[in-house]
Amino acid sequence: MSPILDQTRTNEIFHYNLLFSKYGKKDILYGTAGFRTNANQLDHVMFRMGILAVLYANYTKKVAGIMITASHNPECDNGVKIIGNNGEMLEENWESYATILANCKDEEIVNSIDMIMSDFIIRLGNSLVYLAHDTRKSCPVLLEACILGINAMGGKYQNYGLLTTPQLHFMVYTANSDSDISYYPAERDYFDKLKTAFFNFSQDCPDPPYRILVGVDTANGVGALKMERLQILLRENIKYLEFTVVNMGLNGNATGDIGYIKHGRTTNSNNHTLNDEIENNNEMGTIQSTQSGLNLNCGADYVKVNMKPPTGLSSVHDFRKESPFFEDQNVHYASFDGDADRIVFYYFDKNHEFNLLDGDKIAALIAYYIKDTLKICELAPNDFDLGVVQTAYANGSSTLYIRDNLNMKVYFTPTGVKHLHHKAAQLDVGIYFEANGHGTVLYSKKFVQKIAELSKDGTKSSKINTSARNMMNFINLTNQSVGDALSDLLLVEAILLKYGWNITHWNSMYQDLPNRLMKIKINDRTLVKTSPDETICLSPPALQEAIDSLVSRYPKGRAFLRPSGTEDVVRIYAEAESQEKADDLAHSISVLAFDMAAGVGDRPLRPSK
């Protein structure tokens, strides 16, 4: 018998575990984005992550979350991500335990649970786990596996059904940050917060000289439902900003509402789905209507990596034909990824050339607005610790602009939002965005309190009061728990409205160094090792020397590679003085990596324009 778990619990764990044979499955590692792999390899992992979430919830004595999604990965993949008690990612010291529990032999599972309970001094009691998933067809089966894991540990759960990843982060953050909360957080809370903050911010902005059209590519994912819902809410009050959604990939509509659930209104079971209690919720049943094409030739990752627009924009052009007041200067586009935690922007200039504005440009725009607002509010530069957090993937021009033009500090961390988020949380205002479009802004209590005081200070000028009030609305518009495509979309549109800028004005803040991002499949990503900042390849031997030799041939050349944290691929980034040379450099390094790191499949092709 287990030395910690009682006999009943031990028997249940062994009983349920027999349903999920690990035989023939490949060991996987819990990384920044949780587990990601082919969906048919994950049922045993999902069961065990249900167990882990209960352990974590008992340890923190707060709500934990489980999000089932593979984000920007192909539809055949899936994954699981555990959300920590502050609405952020799972604490780093728990990641290794997640890996151990996921990969231990069937007969060792109870001993592994005992080890975790012993190391963290956990005693089982009341615990609650929030569940949600994206639109992948594999989600219902994997969700059931999670629930069995929760049940085996005697935990309770709330199933929110279809949510974006940032929405579930918001639910967990809200539940754990308000000790007086008398209802389970609901989608209505999330949308009301965004709608109110954006409307209040826009009230202090001048009306633009033209109507603005934003085409939003939702990657045929769950973001389609949520973007449609947001579009409807904003249309009630915002008459000069129009969104049109493309690459929806879903049937049905997004007008259903998940309302408030009072504590105690449950069935006889300790566990229930929110849909059990709510009428008029037509979001929950759409999972079976998912069409193929999730992230296929569309979405933020596709646009960023290929530096070209997604398929499916024809409906935006049709919309423009019906609405001739939308001219090139006031039309731009945005792409989410499959679970709507990434966003990139783009437009076509007068020469019909594609122009991408990625996470670096978003960070620079937000930094400009915040720095400008603090100046108007007559706050000294050293009153607060402001900074932008980047990774090696950040375009070199963005770093120079933020440092030299905005006079703001720039910090660098390894790739992975957990590293950026941790550093940003140490600042009074920490702006972080990966170049792929995943990011947000974090504000200290000290900063928020000062801005709130200025917004109401009758001894200050109306200009200061208004700027501080705008900043408070901007803070409320921000999802501080994680990168959020819907929130970040509105943050950008709010700033453009404030300054009366179109997207070409934003893009002219600085000129990106031409760059190219590529990836190649390899047999085993663990064979590729890099320095802590991921800019130097340590293994395989001689690969970095070969990369340095290539880079030296290109003016303004910079390049590095790193193994993915979730897939057996190597990612290559290259910059140079022209796009042609950046493409050549990236391709040459990808061929090197393919040859020296056991590439799989066909040799890499030079990227097309």
DSSP letter string, 492-551: HHHHHHHHT--HHHHHTTS-PPPEEEEEEEBS-GGG-EE-TTS-SEEESTTHHHHHHHHH
Burial grade of 272 (CB within 10 A; 0-12, 13-18, 19 or more): middle
Contact 295, 337 (CB under 8 A): yes
pLDDT tens-digit profile of 417-474?
Answer: 999 999 999 999 999 999 999 999 999 999 999 999 999 999 999 999 999 999 999 9
Per the annotation, the verdict on 71 as an active-site residue is yes
Burial grade of 482 (CB within 10 A; 0-12, 13-18, 19 or more): buried
Burial grade of 282 (CB within 10 A; 0-12, 13-18, 19 or more): middle
Distance between CA atoms of 85 and 105, rounded to whole angstroms?
Answer: 29
Contact 39, 78 (CB under 8 A): yes
How would DSSP label each residue in 36-98? EEEGGG-HHHHHHHHHHHHHHHHHHTS-EEEEE--TTS-TTEEEEEEEPTTSSBPPHHHHHHH
Please tell me if the domain spanning 7-184 has the same topology as the one spanning 515-596: no
**Predicted pLDDT of residue 321:** 56
**Predicted pLDDT of residue 268:** 27
CATH top-level class of 187-192+199-261+279-338+345-353:
alpha beta
Distance between CA atoms of 100 and 116, rounded to whole angstroms?
Answer: 10
Residue whose tokens read 């200070």 = 457
Nearest by Cα to 68 from 462, 420, 338, 259: 338
**Predicted pLDDT of residue 28:** 76
Q: Would you say residue 582 has pLDDT above 90?
A: yes
CATH top-level class of 515-596:
alpha beta
Reading phi first (left if > 0) and then psi (alpha if -120 to 50, else beta), residue 219 is in left
Nearest by Cα to 519 from 580, 578, 564, 566: 564
Confidence of residue 270 (pLDDT cuts 50, 70, 90): very low
State the DSSP code for 236.
Answer: T
Name the more confident of 143 and 7: 143
Q: Would you say residue 319 has pLDDT above 70?
A: no
Name the more confident of 274 and 124: 124
What residues form DSSP beta bridges with 430? 387, 442
Nearest by Cα to 253 from 301, 217, 285, 297: 285
Query: In sequence order, which residues have a C-beta less than 8 Å from that of residue 487 and are 6 or more positions away?
Result: 166, 194, 440, 477, 478, 479
Nearest by Cα to 175 from 184, 167, 166, 162: 184
> Model pTM?
0.87
Confidence of residue 43 (pLDDT cuts 50, 70, 90): confident
At position 335, the amino acid (one-letter code) is S
pLDDT tens-digit profile of 320-373?
Answer: 555 544 556 688 999 999 999 999 999 988 888 899 999 999 999 999 999 999
Helix 43-60 vs helix 109-119: crossing angle, to nearest 10:
20
Please give the order of strands across the beta sheet that includes 439-443. 409-412, 386-390, 429-433, 439-443
Residue whose tokens read 């594609």 = 354
Distance between CA atoms of 488 and 499, rounded to whole angstroms?
Answer: 17
The percent of residues above 70 in pLDDT, for the chain, comes to 88
Contact 370, 451 (CB under 8 A): no
Nearest by Cα to 415 from 275, 506, 295, 531: 531
Q: Would you say residue 487 has pLDDT above 90?
A: yes
Nearest by Cα to 572 from 609, 601, 599, 542: 599
**Predicted pLDDT of residue 69:** 94
Residue whose tokens read 């593979």 = 70
Domain ranges of the chain: 7-184, 187-192+199-261+279-338+345-353, 359-485, 515-596
CATH top-level class of 359-485:
alpha beta
Vertex 565: Cα angle to 562 and 571 (nearest 5) = 30
**Predicted pLDDT of residue 265:** 23
Confidence of residue 254 (pLDDT cuts 50, 70, 90): very low
Distance between CA atoms of 343 and 484, rounded to whole angstroms?
Answer: 8
Distance between CA atoms of 213 and 566, rounded to whole angstroms?
Answer: 36
Confidence of residue 281 (pLDDT cuts 50, 70, 90): very low
Three-class secondary structure of residue 595 per DSSP? helix
Distance between CA atoms of 274 and 268, rounded to whole angstroms?
Answer: 14
Confidence of residue 30 (pLDDT cuts 50, 70, 90): confident
Confidence of residue 23 (pLDDT cuts 50, 70, 90): low
Distance between CA atoms of 601 and 192, rounded to whole angstroms?
Answer: 48
**Predicted pLDDT of residue 271:** 44
**Predicted pLDDT of residue 273:** 40
Q: Would you say residue 125 has pLDDT above 60?
A: yes
Residue whose tokens read 């590439």 = 599
Contact 441, 482 (CB under 8 A): no
**Predicted pLDDT of residue 179:** 58
Q: Would you say residue 228 has pLDDT above 80?
A: yes
Mean pLDDT of the chain: 87
Q: Would you say residue 33 has pLDDT above 90?
A: no
Distance between CA atoms of 337 and 77, rounded to whole angstroms?
Answer: 14
What residues form DSSP beta bridges with 212? 241
- For 423, the enclosing helix (H) or strand (E) is helix 417-424
Distance between CA atoms of 566 and 16, rounded to whole angstroms?
Answer: 27
The residue from 2, 71, 461, 539 that is catalytic is 71
Distance between CA atoms of 86 and 352, rounded to whole angstroms?
Answer: 45
Three-class secondary structure of residue 561 per DSSP? strand
Peptide bond into 540 cis (omega under 30): yes
- Domain 7-184 CATH assignment equals 3.40.120.10: yes
pLDDT tens-digit profile of 525-568?
Answer: 999 999 988 889 999 989 999 999 999 999 999 999 999 877 88
